[in-house]
Structure 1
């Protein structure tokens, strides 16, 4: 198990390097000048050249990448072109807010998705299965930003039960001022429910297919033939379905942390998606690069944790 973990950890190095290169290049090949928003319209050629030199944009791309990744390894992601603040601080605060929202959405989505998927697979090809499948397909198909707007209209505007936006009573302060009381949690309810709808459908459909296929396998009949009771057989089925289900949930957790730009915009939630949206519109290269890099690396490490968890559940994986 330790060797498997170290091998998987070693695989992260080239993946992380590849991710950093892609993040750097994709941002730089996008059209537009990142200094347009802060440079005076009547700036002279000398002033433009000085501004480019200040931000290191006068160097060749390989040199820019080397400087950027070297600083990133020390935790320095540069300064925002739009605000002048350190990118690392802004990204850290946004990711904390997104992590808070992602964990809340996961606590809703994963148990419900697993339960619905298992029941649908257990009662496969019945009316109950068709009903759950319809619910899952509806959840995946609904535009989540539209659902968020509908929930705001119902629970905030019409009923007045929950706040429509922000991450706390003081506005959009986020996790820095977060407290686990109803005053703060009520700001989390609507965005977490909205963000959880798609993962519920994806997890439910995946688990339904897994459980249905496993129940049709010969080894299940062999377990019954050996005299195992129904509960013992169910434990074997769950254990065989768990690695794939974990993999799907790990991927969904990565997507949840990345957040939905539209959902965070609808609820004015100060997360990574909201920050990424602002960086794109402001053409803020350092902020855009830093946000994408941190989110991509989180996704990579989330997959590492899922791989290790899969190996712990199913030791056969370590032999591959």
Structure 2
């Protein structure tokens, strides 16, 4: 098992390097000049050249990448073109808010998804199963940004029960774990949890239905094992695949919330990324994409390291 852990840790290095190359090149293939947003319209050629030199855009692309990667390894992601502030500070503040939203959404989505999937798989081909399947398909199919707008119309505009935008009273971005701030996270968390809930529910439903039809379950029942004991065996067999799916969906929650954060004006990485795209702020765009991509890589690494604890077959392998 030690070999398995070492292999997974070694794989992270080339994957992270590939992610950094992709993040760097992705923003450079977009049309337009990012400095036009901050340079005066009547800027002279000398002023334009000085601005390009200040941001390193006068160097060849491979040199720009090596300089950017070297600075990124030390925690320096450059300065924002739009604001002039360090990108690392901007991203870290936004990451904290995104983690809070992702935690709330995962708590809702994963718990309900596992519960609904287990119930549907246990009562396979019954009205309960069909109802859960319909709910799961709807959750995966409905655009979450549209669902967010609908929830705002219902619960904020019509009923006036919940706030529609921001992370705290008065548009504050400083999160606190109190009742007043929790009211602001309910709508975006519920909206963000719908897709992973549907995916996890369908996965667990298929796994439970398949495992219950296998011979070893029949043998356990024939030996006189009670329903609770059989369900424990089913859960142990369902856990490895479910953990993999949950890991992928957690990465989605961390990196795929750009539309939700924009709809609800939530001050996270998705909202920051949206602003960077519209402002053509290359350093901020690169830094945000890199942090989100590395989060996804390390979440999946964590899942790979935890899987042997729940799947004895990996230990034996």
- Which runs of structure 2 are paired with 1:10-25 in the superposition (5 Å)? 10-25=10-25
- Matched ranges for 1:148-187 at <5 A: 148-173=148-173, 177-187=174-184
- Equivalent-residue separation in structure 1 for 2:188 and 2:163 (angstroms): 10
Tell me how far 1:147 sits from its aligned partner. Answer: 1.3
Q: Aligned with 1:10: secondary structure?
A: helix
CA distance in 1, matches of 2:222, 2:61: 66
- Residue-by-residue CA offset, 1:79-129 (whole Å, 9 max, x unaligned): 001110000011101111110000000111111000000011111111110
Q: Within the alignment, does 1:192 sit opposite 2:195 as a pair?
A: no
Q: Which ranges of structure 1 fall in alignment gaps of 5 or more residues?
A: none
Alignment partners' CA distance in 2, 1:154 and 1:10:
49
Question: What residue is the counterpart of 1:136 in the other structure?
Answer: 136
- Is 1:281 aligned to residue 274 of structure 2? no
Matched, 1:253 2:250: yes
Structure 1 residues 259 and 167: CA distance shift in structure 2, 3 A: farther
Alpha-carbon separation, structure 2, partners of 1:63 and 1:124 = 59
Q: Which runs of 5+ in 2 are unaligned?
A: none
2-structure distance, mates of 1:67, 1:294: 17
Give the whole-Å Cα distance in 2 for the aligned partners of 1:289 and 1:172. Answer: 26
Corresponding position: 1:307 with 2:304: yes
> Conserved in 2, the CA contact under 8 Å of 1:259 and 1:272?
no
* Alignment match of 1:208 (pick from 199, 205, 208): 205
Name the counterpart of 2:229: 232
Cα shift readout 1:260-279 (whole Å, capped 9, x = no counterpart): 22211111101111111111
TM-score (norm 2): 0.97
Kindly state the Cα deviation for residue 319 of structure 1 after the two structures are TM-superposed.
4.5
Does the CA-based 8 Å contact 2:97-2:175 persist in structure 1? Answer: no
Partner of 1:57: 57
Give 1:4 shift. Answer: 2.2
Question: How far does residue 31 in structure 1 lie from its aligned partner after superposition?
Answer: 1.1
Structure 1: distance between partners of 2:93 and 2:201: 32
SS of residue matched to 1:195: helix
* Aligned-pair Cα RMSD in Å: 1.2
1:50 CA displacement: 1.2
Paired position in structure 2 for 1:110: 110
When normalised by structure 1's length, the TM-score is 0.96
The number of residue pairs the alignment matches comes to: 317
Instruction: Name whichever of 258-267 and 54-63 sits farther off.
Output: 258-267
Please tell me whether residue 75 in structure 1 is matched to residue 78 in structure 2: no
- For the Cα contact (< 8 Å) 2:109–2:194, is it kept in 1? yes
